[in-house]
Amino acid sequence: MTDIQTTSQIDVAAAEEFADRLIGMFDGACATLMVSVGHQTGLFDTLATLPAASSAGIADSAGLDERYVREWLKAMVMARIVHHDPEADTYRLPAAHAAWLTRDAGSDNLARLMQYVPLLAGVEQPIIECFRQGGGLSYAQYPRFHQLMAEESAAVADAALVEMILPLAPGLPGRLSRGIHVADMGCGSGHAVNVMAAAYPASSFVGYDFSEEAIGVARAEASSLGLTNARFEVQDVAALDDVGPFDLVTAFDSVHDQAHPAAVLANIARCVADDGTFLMVDIKASSMLEDNLELPWGTFLYTVSTMHCMTVSLGLGGDGLGTAWGQQLAVSMLQDAGFGNVEVMDVEDDPVNSYYVATKA
Ligand SMILES: C[S@@+](CC[C@H](N)C(=O)[O-])C[C@H]1O[C@@H](n2cnc3c(N)ncnc32)[C@H](O)[C@@H]1O
């Protein structure tokens, strides 16, 4: 008996079951693309406000072209997302589905998440070239990345940052109310910083990111909110020196795609005050592949890693840590950087991330 199975040795039932699963994946991927379109065009938000309506009525309410809306609705019916009444030729989004697909759903809006699939597909050809030649891509090759990331993280910040996330560190809300110095590393479009600055006017906040585009968005939001205690700087956090000390440093999903994550963690440890706190938010996963098999979005984690997080790090000549670097490696890198105490926690509104509260003592 060799390792290579001949056709006659294949378990036919298992092969057919596998083929069915592949076809399900293919159809699901197409539904994902259409859900992303539904989110971006506002069609789910429109549908949620309407009773059963014709494609013309839905297109009219959404201000969109009827022919495209009709074809999209048919795809949504095939995906069992929208109900169709063949007699009346009307379409309806059940409330139980709207609860996961509309902007009103806040951090529960899964349609927002689906946008990552077309975003990643946009770099498929350059990624294939990376498979052949090595190297990586630059952030500039993902024109919608900052917008999507900001949409996704803002939902969590709005739902849970002040009420649930900051209280994970004992005594932190009280210290923020009394007034402390806070830095956010890899702040992106800065919404989390602005939310904290608005909630804690006695504290001062600085957000660092090397993306001029993201820092521009962050500054514009701070200014539109009239915040005088939040500032933003275009800064490579791997080259941060002579800043701090800060009583609190945060990093929201910005460590795993660093080119030089160990250097960044060492910089953070240097600029956190001796009695200060580092709150690191990063993808919830195990460092052991086999532990991640039960994660409902496990394939997504390694896909987004291959097509973005690992790849932008490699594009800067970096380590290519990967999205699912995992809890074990994260804790050991935090300890190596000088954080003797690391606690790992969960937040209900954010099932995708783990919350690391690290102190030096
Ligand atoms: C996954 S995004 C997270 C953004 C933001 N914290 C949020 O939650 O929306 C990672 C961010 O880290 C920034 N970044 C990556 N490496 C950086 C570096 N060496 N210095 C500064 N910013 C960096 C990227 O520009 C990006 O905005």
154 CA to middle of ligand 1, Å?
14
115 CA to middle of ligand 1, Å?
19
Per-residue pLDDT tens digits for 160-187 = 999 999 999 999 999 999 999 999 999 9
Note the pLDDT of residue 9.
84
118 CA to middle of ligand 1, Å?
21
Cite the residue boundaries of each domain of the chain with CATH code 1.10.10.10.
Answer: 7-103
Which range (10-14, 191-195, 284-288) has the least confidence?
10-14
Q: Which atom of ligand 1 is closest in space to residue 251's alpha carbon?
A: 6
Indicate whether residue 283 lines ligand 1 (CB < 6 A): no
pTM of the model: 0.92
CA pair distance 163, 334, nearest whole angstrom: 25
**Amino acid identity, position 219:** R
For the chain, the 3-state helix, strand and coil shares in percent, each to the nearest 5, are 55, 15, 30
The dihedrals phi and psi of 271, each to the nearest 5 degrees, come to: -95, 0
Domain covering 120-359 assigned CATH 3.30.360.10 in the classification: no
Cite the residue boundaries of each domain of the chain with CATH code 3.40.50.150.
Answer: 120-359
Assigned CATH for 7-103: 1.10.10.10
pLDDT range class, residue 74, cuts 50, 70, 90: very high
Q: Is the pLDDT of residue 270 over 50?
A: yes
Q: Is the pLDDT of residue 1 over 90?
A: no
CA pair distance 42, 84, nearest whole angstrom: 19
209 CA to middle of ligand 1, Å?
6
Mean pLDDT, range 240-260, rounded to an integer: 95
Per-residue pLDDT tens digits for 49-63 = 999 999 999 999 999
Mean pLDDT, range 331-355, rounded to an integer: 95
User: Which residue owns the Cα nearest ligand 1 atom 25?
Assistant: 211
Indicate whether residue 151 lines ligand 1 (CB < 6 A): no
Average pLDDT, the chain: 96
pLDDT range class, residue 2, cuts 50, 70, 90: very low
